[in-house]
Each structure stands twice: as structure tokens, then as C-alpha cells.
A and B are shown apart, each in its own frame.
Chain A
Amino acid sequence: MSINFQYLETFRDEIRLLTLKELHHLGFGHYGGSLSIIEALAVLYGEVMKVDSKNPEWVDRDYFILSKGHGGPSYYATLSLKGFFPEKILYTLNQNGTTLPSHPDRNLTPGVDMTTGSLGQGISAAVGVALSHKLSDRGNYTYCLVGDGELNEGQCWEAFQFAAHHKLNRLLVLVDDNKKQLDGLTKDIINPFDFGEKLTAFGFYTLKVDGSSLTQIYEAIEKGKAQCDKPVAIILDTVKGQGVPYLEEKADNHHIRPNQADEEAIIATIAQLEKKLGKKVRL
């Protein structure tokens, strides 16, 4: 299959631009973990997933659950670019009365398949969706994006055991291995050791890729979809704050209320992306 990676690169850059714009407009937020999942979102929504923005409840769609719910801002940017709601709605992120709360809510936002934010819970719902389709002999795929810090939660490992036992081969779990959680480095807080080895031991078909590479993510998903008797885990080697070098370097980048230097870097990145894309986004 020939893939238009040029389109995906543009889509990725647009997601990053809108993510930075909406967070910048709000004035604070989960920059680090929103930025690190953008390449995965670009591949899923730009190429892989069957979704219809005109019919978000389409029963034959593929499902996506953002189990690391604090990544909401880039998820919303992606959904707006896909046409689920107007871009200007991004301007209301996390503000009074918004339809875009800090953590996704399936009852508020068109295109959001599941309410998440209490870490560890989205993956169980994803497993339930995949089980349901398997029981009904339907072909829908279920994609679930979990955080590396989120994998501290025992419930994730309950869900993984369940998925492997039921051979949920149309479930693809993407692990955002950005090496950091709120209080610091994952290896200093609860050492994850090797996610790949652990998930393989739990019965997954496991792949590890550069989580900033659209090509590698796409190829891993295609390989995973060819599996017929195991759930799939794709470990995304990412950087918290991905795609904004200044924020990648910033030690405490989980939730940022920008200082002056942060502000300048964010504005400069927005300008670079606008120049590259040849468009100015007015939210």
C-alpha cells in the first residue's frame, strides 16, 4: 500500500500547531504528554482508522480510547482537523462551560469514544470494546493509547491479562514511553524496566518503534493488524514535549504554566510551524 507521508507530515504539523495554540491561549496545561502523542495521533487519524466525522457514532468505525486522558489537547486538535467540530472550539479548552474539558468526555465532545482521565480505566474500556466486537464477530479495530506513567496503575495489567486471554487481536495498545511522569522520570519513581519484555510476557505481540517517526508507527500498526491470535502492543519511544526542542529539554514539562522563556519558545515554535505550513491559524 502506498502511503502519502507528505500528507501525514502536514497533518502532524497542523496537530502540533493547533495543540500549541490552544494550550497557549488557555495559558497552562499538559504540554508534555500532549505533544508526545502527536505522531501517533497523526498516523491513526490521518491514515489508519476508519472514522466518519459526519457520523461519529458510525457502528462500523474503529474505536480510539485515549486512556492517558491528560493528552486531551492534542486529541482535540486532531478531531477538529478531521472535522468533528470547528477549530474555533479549541479556543474554549478547559474553560467554563466548554465542550473540551482537560480530560476527554464522550458526552461532551463529538468523536470522543470514551470518557477518560482516571488513569488505568480507559484500557479496560478498550478491552471491553474489543471483546464486544469479537463476541459479535465484527471487524472493528480498537486503538488505545496509554501513558508510561499510567502503567503504574495495576488495572492496566489486569486489562492486559484479559486481552491476551481472550486473544483480542483487533486491539492495538500504543504505549507513550516518554520516560516521564508528573513527579519526574519514570525510572526514578516506579522503574518500568522494559515495557516490551513485560507486555510480551503478558501475551502481547510487541513492537518497539521511534515514536517520532510517522513511517515507523505506521509500519508497526500494519504489522500488528496482521496478527490473528494476540493483542498488539506498540511501544512508542517518545520524548515528553516532543517536537518543541525547548520543551523537550525542560525538566518539569508535564503541566506547564509558561514563564517568559517558555512563552518565547512556544511562540517561536508556533511561528515556525505557521511558516512551514504557509498558514496562520486564528483560533
Chain B
Amino acid sequence: MIQTPSRSYELDKLEMRQVYANTILEMARNNANVVALEADLMSAISTNKIIEQIPNQLINCGIMEANMIGVAAGLSLTGKIPYVHTFAQFATRRAFDQLFVSGAYAKLNIKILGSDSGVTAEHNGGTHMAFEDLGLVRLIPNAYIYEVSDATMLGYLLRKIENEYGIHYIRTIRKKAVEIYQEDEIFETGKGKVLREGGDVTIIGSGIMVAESLRAADLLQDLGIQATVIDMYSIKPIDKDLIVKYAKKTKAVVTAENHNVIGGLGSAVAEILSEHCPTQMRRIGVKEQFGQVGKVEYLKGFYKITAKDIVDAVREMV
């Protein structure tokens, strides 16, 4: 139990899927070139509620993710701005060569929303639980990767990338996130957000693990350990300067991700630190395991990605 919570940890007013649908509708109305593509998951991401308003800018491609990425490439060739949505594992694992060759290698402009990230796939279980999507997309040269932590950030980044050419992958949950930001917050590419300052350890999280990191910092405070918490929403490019600055300052780093510790945020931070500022660190995330069915809280406990696991990792070092 946190004795002195630093914030209320209230949920956003809107679900992430409502934010996606609302933002797509707004962008499509303002720009005839915006076209959203779906692979039979419109009702899962709430775009079924806007289809009648933008029938020529929202296309259900059916259950064919490989073709959907190719169609997006074709749309991009003719100047359209395709936003593609499907669950994270289909957007990356299933259509990886299409994303790599028809998208990135061909230097085209495609925005991808991978939803139901990691444990939030819940009852869909191991086949649907992507713990490797960030790692896959990180391997694509010049791709941009964001893992969003709340509704304000998702809406902002969806709008921001509309006029930024390239392959953009946004990883999200579908339901309500813990509210982290005020509505007027801005989010730059290649930057992290310092949410809390402390001199003993730096906790770097993304997505749903940002709230866990903040909770961990509260628990550590009760133990007399002061933690810095960074929301590293821009996974690629990543904020090297910020990572090095706080590693130097606190001399201990923990990463926290709803993803395999190989390939994602933990890897990215370790790569920066090992080359530029060797620092003791721990990576909280999924280790050599597949997904499974279960509620989010159960799964967080099973994969050891809770605030308590972050605290334990910190206490090994501090």
C-alpha cells in the first residue's frame, strides 16, 4: 500500500479507442487525403461509429493484414495518408515483411496503430498477446515508434504524425489509461518526459508501465528512496541525452515495459547506457515467456511487471 500517493491515479475520461476514432474523424474531415484502414476490427477500436460519416476515408480491408499494409503503401504512392489499425501482433508479426519492404524500404508514408498491447490483450490470450512488436519495428530502419501512456498523448501524436512523412508505429491499449497529462501537454519526437524527480534511482517506463512506475516511486518514497520517473513514449528515436543525464545523476536505472525485455524499451535503454554511460540497471518486463489468458492485474503479477516488482528491482541496487 502506498502511504502517500503523489497523484490520484484516476482514469482518463475517454477510452483510447474512442480517442482514436474521434481523432481519425476529425483529421479525415479536415484532410481529404487521410484514409483509415481496418482489418475487421472496427468495432474493437470504435471506428464502426464513424464509418457512416467518412465512408470514402475509412476502409475495412477484411482479415488480410498483409494486403492491408500493401494497400496502405499503394495509397501512399498516390499521396494519401493512410492510418492502419489492427491488434499489435497482426500489425507487426503477421505483416512484418510488408511493413519492411512495401512500407519502409520503399520509403512510403504509413501510420500504424497497434492496439491491445501486451497483457491488455487479456482474454484473447497467447496468440494475441504481443510482447515483441516494439522489437520488430525497432529493427526497421528509420521507423518512428511511440508507446502512448494516456489519451492526451494518443490524440496529440495521431495529429502530429499526419504531416510527418514515414513509417510511424503507435502502440496502445484500447480501454482507459491512467490519466498522466493535462490536455495542453505537447509531445516531441525523440524526447522523454520527466514526471517526477528523485536522486537515488531513475525508473524509465512506457505505456501502462508509466503509471506502475509512478506507483513504484510512491512506494519507494515511503521507504526513503527518491526516484526519478521518465515516460519514454518515444521509443525510436529515443531520448539518449535524457537517459544519460539521469543515469549519471542517479547511478541506477530500472526500465519498465509491458513487453519482452528483449527488443523493446529495456533493450533500447541498455544499448544507450552500455555505449555512453555504463550504469547498473534492471529491466522489468516479460522474460522468455509467451502470453496467456487472464485479467490485466493477474497477468501483471504473473509476468512480474507490477509496481512492487519495480520496487524490488530498485532495492537490489539502492
Contacts and interface: CB of A to CB of B under 8 A. Distances in A.
Give the interface size class of chain B.
Answer: 20 to 34
Given A114-B106, A124-B102, A155-B70, A162 B64 contact: yes
A159 B97 contact: no
Nearest to A142: B74
For the residues of B in contact with A, the DSSP-based class is: helix
B59 A125 contact: no
A125 B70 contact: yes
Contacts of B75: 128-129, 131-132
B35 A135 contact: yes
A126 interface: yes
A105 B102 CA distance: 10
A167 to B, nearest CB: 13
A155 B65 CA distance: 9
A129 B70 contact: no
Interface string A102-119: 000111000001110110
Given A107-B106, A158-B64, A131 B71 contact: yes
Contacts of B59: 131
A154 B63 CA distance: 13
A128 B66 contact: no
A162 B106 contact: no
Interface in B62-110: 62, 64, 66-67, 69-80, 97-98, 101-102, 105-107
Given A106-B106, A114-B106, A131-B59, A124 B77 contact: no
B107 A124 contact: no
B124 interface: no
Nearest to A160: B67
Contacts of A100: none
Given A128-B70, A128-B75, A131-B71, A121 B102 contact: yes
B74 A125 contact: yes
A127 interface: yes
A249 B245 CA distance: 69
B56 interface: yes
A127 B70 contact: yes
Nearest to B73: A125
A115 B105 contact: yes
B107 A126 contact: no
B61 interface: yes
Given A118-B97, A128-B70, A162 B78 contact: no
A107 B107 contact: yes
B74 A162 contact: no
A133 interface: yes
B66 A161 contact: no
A173 interface: no
Contacts of B98: 121, 124, 155
A37 B56 CA distance: 35
Contact of B62 (A118, A127, A131, A162): A162
A158 B66 contact: yes
Given A132-B80, A135-B56, A115 B102 contact: yes
A130 B64 contact: no
B101 A118 contact: yes
A133 to B, nearest CB: 7
Contact of B74 (A120, A126, A136): A126
B105 to A, nearest CB: 6
A127 B97 contact: no
B61 A129 contact: no
A199 to B, nearest CB: 16
Of B59, B74, B75, B98, chain A has the most CB atoms within 10 Å of the CB of B74
Nearest to B106: A115
A58 to B, nearest CB: 12
A123 interface: yes
A115 B64 contact: no
A26 to B, nearest CB: 23
Nearest to A140: B78
A15 B134 CA distance: 46
Contacts of A59: 79
B74 A121 contact: no
B107 to A, nearest CB: 5
Interface in B103-161: 105-107
Given A125-B74, A128-B71, A128-B72, 11 more contacts: A115-B105, A121-B70, A124-B69, A124-B71, A125-B70, A128-B76, A129-B75, A132-B78, A155-B70, A161-B62, A161-B64
Q: Which 5 A-B pairs have the closest CB atoms?
A: A128-B74, A124-B70, A158-B67, A128-B71, A115-B106
13 contacts: A59-B79, A107-B107, A114-B106, A115-B102, A115-B105, A121-B97, A125-B73, A128-B70, A130-B74, A132-B79, A132-B80, A135-B35, A161-B62
Interface of B: 32, 35, 56-57, 59, 61-62, 64, 66-67, 69-80, 97-98, 101-102, 105-107
Interface of A: 59, 63, 105-107, 113-115, 117-118, 120-121, 123-133, 135-136, 154-155, 158-159, 161-162, 165
